[in-house]
Amino acid sequence: VESGRCDRVTTLVPPARGSEELFRLLVAGVVDYAIITLDVTGHVTSWNPGAERIKGWTAQEIMGRSFETFYQQEEIDAGKCAMELRECARTGSFEDEGWRLRADGTRFWANVVITAMRDPQGHLIGFSKLTRDMTERRANEESVRALNADLERRVQDRTALLTAMNEELESFTYSVSHDLRAPLRAIDGFLSIVRSEHADGLDEEGTSLLAEVSDNARRMGRLIDDLLEFSRLQHTELAFNSVRTQLLVERLVARVRSEQPDRELDITIQGLPDVRGDEILLAQVFDNLVRNAVKYSRAGQVPAIVLRGREVVGGWEFEVSDHGVGFDQAYSGKLFGVFQRLHRADEYEGTGVGLAIVKRIVTRHGGRVWATGTVGEGARFGFSLSSGEL
């Protein structure tokens, strides 16, 4: 507590003979501090204008009265005043902060330093007492504290609200998964029975229409699954680990090749870095991007796909580029939305959730996604990951 200022006061006493007048003038000029002296029993022996301004008594009114006058009754009863002087006489000085009384009975928050004064022989001759009015500063501190507490409370309220909303969403998702699956399975099941056991009663048109119904039911099933997957991603805890993306992508590419052994694929992996992230989720990001690149290749052409990755300031960046059908850059904003598709369902299989899943995973890794493309020339999908060290 501003020890420098206190030290300065302690060196003021006792005044050497001759400089006494100078000292008196100095003290008399101070209005921001109450500077008073007390005799050994705590009665006021001098009173500066600062004291009058802060405490409200004139020198005439207060001289000779006990400094207990400035304290609240409970404190006096508890022996606080006597303790302060005793402690000060023992150690040389005493410092305190607390409520003190003014002449009109109002309170102010005071910072008080009492210093023992001794004669050259070392006998106690009284005390000097320096008091500052800290009420305003205390009020400011309290209002800052109150504001912080209020902010804290509002953050907690908001967090509780969001948690409740998340739980509600989760239970909604859960019931969607349960309730929508059952009728879908029934549709698929009854269709299957009709087609296997009642085929004789159907003409070619009827059979074809039922196949159409069946396709749509299956497609809806995939949509529900994808939507649930997308929704689940928001709640899954990320398991951060070191991920060797080169290895991860090599395995993925091997898998994609083995699934379409008759198809020629030209996939180049250009030295991908090790990153920190959730391996399973990052695998899904690469999976979606690579499969997209394969899917949207131009008819009759061997898909040519290049994967690049590098370390950048604060994280890593990856890009998957192809020479496929591409897309109109004007619609690039729609690419990462849920159920947004730039191609008709009968042109390319898909539910329109894959890139939304990519974006959600990347966002949860503190990164961002981007896409550039030209119709008929190819597309380039990129994403960044944060190392969390910036």
Partner 1 sequence: VTPVDLVLAEDGEGDVRLALHALKSAGFASRTLVVRDGAEALQVLLDPDRVLPRLVILDLKMPKVDGLEVLQQLRATPRTSTTPVVMLSNSRQTRDIAQAYALGCNGYVVKSMDFEEYSSSMASLVRFWLDVNTLVGSQ
Task: Name which of 83 and 193 has its Cβ closer to partner 1.
Answer: 193
- Closer residue to partner 1 in complex, CB, 101/217: 217
- At its nearest, how many Å lie between partner 1 and the CB of residue 200? 18
Q: Are 378 and 321 in contact (CB under 8 A)?
A: yes
Please identify, using beta-carbon distances, which residue of 184 and 238 lies nearer to partner 1: 184
* Least distance in angstroms from the C-beta of 236 to partner 1: 11
Structure-token pair, residue 174: 């859960």
Q: Is 331 in the site for partner 1 (CB under 8 A)?
A: no
Shortest gap between Cβ of 362 and partner 1 (angstroms)? 25
In the complex, minimum distance from the CB of residue 192 to partner 1, in angstroms, rounded to a whole number: 4
Q: How far apart are CA 324 and CA 308, in angstroms?
A: 17
State in angstroms the smallest separation of the CB of 197 from partner 1. 9
Distance (Å, whole) CA 144 – CA 149: 8
| Nearest residue (CB) to partner 1, 156 versus 175 | 175
Based on CB atoms, which residue is closest to partner 1, 81 or 184?
A: 184
Cα separation, 325 vs 344, whole angstroms:
13
As measured in angstroms, the least distance from the Cβ of 222 to partner 1 is 9
Q: Is 291 helix (H, G, I), strand (E, B) or coil?
A: helix
Q: Which of 221, 273, 314, 366 binds partner 1 (CB under 8 A)?
A: 221
Q: Sign of the CA dihedral 46, 50, 52, 54? A: negative
Interactions with partner 1, residue window 80-109 (CB under 8 A): none
Q: How many residues bind partner 1 (CB under 8 A)?
A: 17
Quick one: 46 or 177, whose CB is closer to partner 1?
177
Closest among 14, 18, 243, 231 to 124, alpha carbons compared: 14
To the nearest whole angstrom, how small is the minimum distance from the Cβ of residue 277 to partner 1? 22
Please, which residues bridge with residue 385 across strands?
Answer: 316
Residue with tokens 């091997």: 254
Residues 145-204 that bind partner 1 (CB under 8 A): 174, 177-178, 181-186, 188-193
Q: Collapsing DSSP states into helix, strand and coil, what is residue 32?
A: coil
Residue given tokens 């909604």 in the structure block:
172
Compare residues 293 and 357 and give the one whose CB is closer to partner 1. 357
Helix axes 135-197, 204-235, angle to 10 degrees: 160
**Which lies closer to partner 1 via its Cβ, residue 15 or residue 221?**
221
- How far, rounded to the nearest angstrom, does the alpha carbon of residue 313 sit from its chain's CA centroid? 22
CB 378, CB 322: distance < 8 Å:
yes
The pair of structure tokens assigned to 141 is 């501190």
Tell me how far, at minimum, the Cβ of 188 lies from partner 1, in Å: 5
**Paired sense of beta strands 315-322 and 378-386, if any:** antiparallel
Alpha-carbon distance values, 269 to 209, 238, 307 (Å): 45, 26, 5
DSSP 368: -
Q: How far is the CB of 217 from partner 1 (least distance, A)?
A: 8
Q: CB–CB of 381/292 below 8 Å?
A: yes
Q: Quick one: 24 or 185, whose CB is closer to partner 1? A: 185
Closer to partner 1 by Cβ: residue 173 or 363? 173
The Cα 352–Cα 278 span in angstroms is: 23
CB of 185 to partner 1, least distance (A): 5
Strand partners of residue 334: none
The pair of structure tokens assigned to 212 is 């159409």
- The residues of the shown chain that bind partner 1, judged by CB under 8 A, are 174, 177-178, 181-186, 188-193, 218, 221
